[in-house]
Structure 1
Amino acid sequence: NLAIPWEDTKAFLSSFEQVAKACRWPKEEWVARLLPALSGEAEQAFRSLEAGDREDYGKVKVAILRADALKMEAQRQHFRQFCCQEVEDPRGIYAQLQELCSRWLKPERRSKEQILELLVLEQFLASLPQDLQVWIQAGGPDSCSQAPPRVPSGRWGGV
């Protein structure tokens, strides 16, 4: 079972960086060496950058991870906002919900613990004021433990 490189963006980029360091590639070459592997959303994220930023691996990585986080958020919203107007085929609706949930949580590549973390993170974020949610989401956490330990003082009252 051959894994698709961009199926787990963070893991793929981490592996790429380990190889780049092990091979002692100069950091200026990393983008050029990553380019042949770009596809789908990762390639679109790269193309959305200004020409000068396309040579900066750090900026390329941030753009790719941001695109990945936006895709996951869109999948979560599709699942959470699903609504059927007419119930003609309950099994079909159930199957559609299962598909939407699988696209979001990806149970074929995430452990039970990782899925639980995503659900807890979702509820954690939902319980916070909107501006604090946005601030934490900007960091792209995959779990509550990856959320910032402290918020900037004075912005969110008693939080």
Structure 2
Amino acid sequence: MTSKEKRGAEEQIKEAEHRQQLEKRQKEVELKEKEESIKLAAYKREQAAKEAAHKRKLEEEEVAHRRKQEEEDMAHHREMEKQQKESEEKEKQRKHELDLTQAGLHAPANPNNPSPIMVPQHRKFPTYKAGDDTKAFLENFERACLGYSIPEDQYMVELRPQLSGPLAEVAAEMPKQQMNDYKLFQTKAIYRMGITPDHARRRFRTQKWKPDVSFPKHTYYIGKNYEAWISGHNVKSLEELHLLIQMEQVLDGVPEDITRYIQDGKPKNLAEAGEIGARWMEVAESKKATVKGNEYPRGHTDHKPYNRG
């Protein structure tokens, strides 16, 4: 074999070895890709199973909440029907007694046939405990009074025994000459518990969904806080609603003194709000100029151009 043929044979051998190494590497890459594909498929199946389990849990919670809400609604409906029936019976009895009085009839003095003894009707009212929803309690109490046909000037007589905690304190603090003024109590109770339109607005804006809260409950509180905010400002038209939302944006970040000054001016639109704010700034600038132009005793502090109250 010549040296040339020998070199050719060696190159063929090297080329064959190189191809074998390439094929080996290719097989290793394919094997590794196959393993990664298997791992990825397993991970996707695991994630899909977790998502399905979480979805089932949410659906079960929603179904349970809906069932509970339906049961509470049915119980409330039965209670209202019971109260309505008791009220109708009481009205029939009162009408019967009135008819007897007008006809001049009296019960016969016959010991063998005595008149039936009328047992006073036992009224049931919701009771308030510290931590309960104040507005829901007052609304249920008013519904109970309507069911029993109780006049509003008697609401406080029935309400006081049902109170405890901060609401009992509100009732005790009312002036004696106004102790039976239910509207006054309602106003004081709402402000004592912090249920103001601004409080409802802040809760509406900051209400965020949490994983442990069902969506029906989340949306219920969103709507409740929105209604409390809007109704608290006596919004009765679309224009008033627009102005309320726009003023919220205008006063965002504005100092409290300026905010109250603008609100006290009762602007009817954004232009008037801007003019009122500009007047406040003019007064503030004039006050500042006056302070700089005069000498005050040591320790003197300038007054704000507008103070609450």
TM-score computed with the length of structure 2 as normaliser: 0.28
Larger Rg: 2
Q: Which has the higher helix share?
A: 2
TM-score computed with the length of structure 1 as normaliser: 0.50
